[in-house]
């Protein structure tokens, strides 16, 4: 099982928008050293919408090579066409990725039956596990808990990244799916709360900036939940909950301010200020507006980030 802090990795680029492979390698090493438990290349934060298919496949292949089995690699392979999602997923499988993260089809607004058949068809084509990804704020497509429950019965589908930030929605999925589906938070601001209800980690934007601290919060939260499930461990659980909340309080500014403009605009600016990537980003994404520099920097300092 893939658990803990899972970074939704930014894609380093040069000023002209070309891919910066050297910085990519360095980022992967830094995340592993910092305690990140798994890496997601070419998700939303990795600008999957603006890289072409050969670049997409090459990024996954490169990350898999650099990771070299030290942590799981979950390749972002979602698309709004089922055939394209299969193409990207097969390429990730052939590259040696450990799993695929498949965002709901965007723009074309499929029905719930369409979503079910989309994911079932992809699963039939793959040998590696798949994680669903629901983020209706970006896709204009909301996969309902009942559909998630249906998909939990499909071989190969092992989890969901639920990014609505709606706690009742997340707990309903946990209740409906039980141990058939691993739930990951896709909303940094509510990740700890969801982990304390049984989620197995966070696929995180904030982890790009403060990976060690995000990893600590996830581990404490998961340990606290496990302790709550054991008889006589209430005191130990409360100690871990308190420690996790204290650490997470230092990250709240990042959880909020990394979304002052569309992701990944603020997070790429933040990682650039840390000296870990250059200033490249692809249109239609632009560099962070000047008026947001101070609040993002303030949040970084609040989190103890070295800038």
Catalytic entry in 116, 119, 133, 184 = 133
Give catalytic status of residue 106 as yes or no.
no
Can you list the alpha helix ranges (DSSP code H) found in 209-305?
Answer: 211-228, 234-257, 265-273, 293-302
Catalytic entry in 37, 161, 213, 268 = 161
Q: Cβ of 240: how many Cβ atoms within 10 Å? A: 21
What is the phi-psi region of residue 69: left when phi exceeds 0, alpha when psi lies from -120 to 50, beta otherwise? left
Asked whether the bond before 264 is cis by omega within 30 degrees of 0, the reply is yes
Give catalytic status of residue 116 as yes or no.
no
Question: Rounded to a whole number, what is the distance in angstroms from the first to the last CA of the chain?
Answer: 34
Any idea what DSSP says for residue 179? G
Euclidean distance between CA atoms 79 and 86, whole angstroms = 9
At 152, give phi and psi (nearest 5°).
Answer: -65, -15
Specify which residues 131 forms β-bridges with.
101, 159
Known catalytic residues are 133, 161
């Amino acid at each position: 099982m893939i658990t803990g802090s899972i970074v939704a990795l930014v894609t380093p680029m040069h000023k002209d928008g070309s891919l910066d492979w050297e910085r990519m390698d360095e980022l992967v090493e830094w995340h592993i050293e910092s305690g990140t438990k798994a890496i997601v290349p070419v998700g939303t934060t990795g600008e999957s919408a603006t890289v072409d298919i050969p670049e997409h496949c090459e990024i996954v292949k490169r990350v898999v090579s650099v990771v070299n089995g030290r942590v799981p690699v979950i390749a972002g392979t979602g698309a709004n066409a089922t055939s394209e999602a299969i193409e990207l997923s097969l390429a990730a499988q052939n590259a040696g990725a450990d799993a695929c993260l498949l965002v709901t089809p965007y723009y074309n607004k499929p029905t719930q039956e369409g979503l079910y058949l989309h994911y079932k068809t992809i699963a039939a084509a793959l040998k590696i596990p798949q994680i669903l990804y629901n983020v209706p704020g970006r896709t204009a497509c909301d996969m309902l808990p009942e559909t998630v429950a249906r998909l939990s019965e499909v071989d190969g589908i092992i989890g969901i990244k639920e990014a609505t930030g709606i706690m009742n929605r997340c707990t309903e999925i946990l209740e409906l799916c039980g141990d058939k589906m691993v739930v990951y938070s896709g909303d940094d601001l509510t990740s700890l709360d969801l982990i304390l209800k049984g989620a197995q980690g966070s696929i995180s934007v904030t982890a790009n900036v403060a990976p060690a601290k995000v990893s600590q919060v996830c581990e404490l939260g998961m340990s606290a939940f496990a302790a709550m499930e054991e008889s006589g461990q209430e005191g130990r659980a409360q100690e871990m909950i308190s420690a996790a909340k204290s650490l997470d309080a230092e990250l709240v500014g990042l959880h909020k301010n990394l979304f002052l403009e569309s992701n990944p605009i603020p997070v790429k600016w933040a990682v650039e200020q840390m000296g870990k990537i250059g200033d490249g980003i692809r249109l239609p994404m632009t560099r962070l507006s000047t008026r947001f520099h101070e609040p993002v920097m303030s949040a970084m300092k609040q989190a103890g980030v070295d800038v």
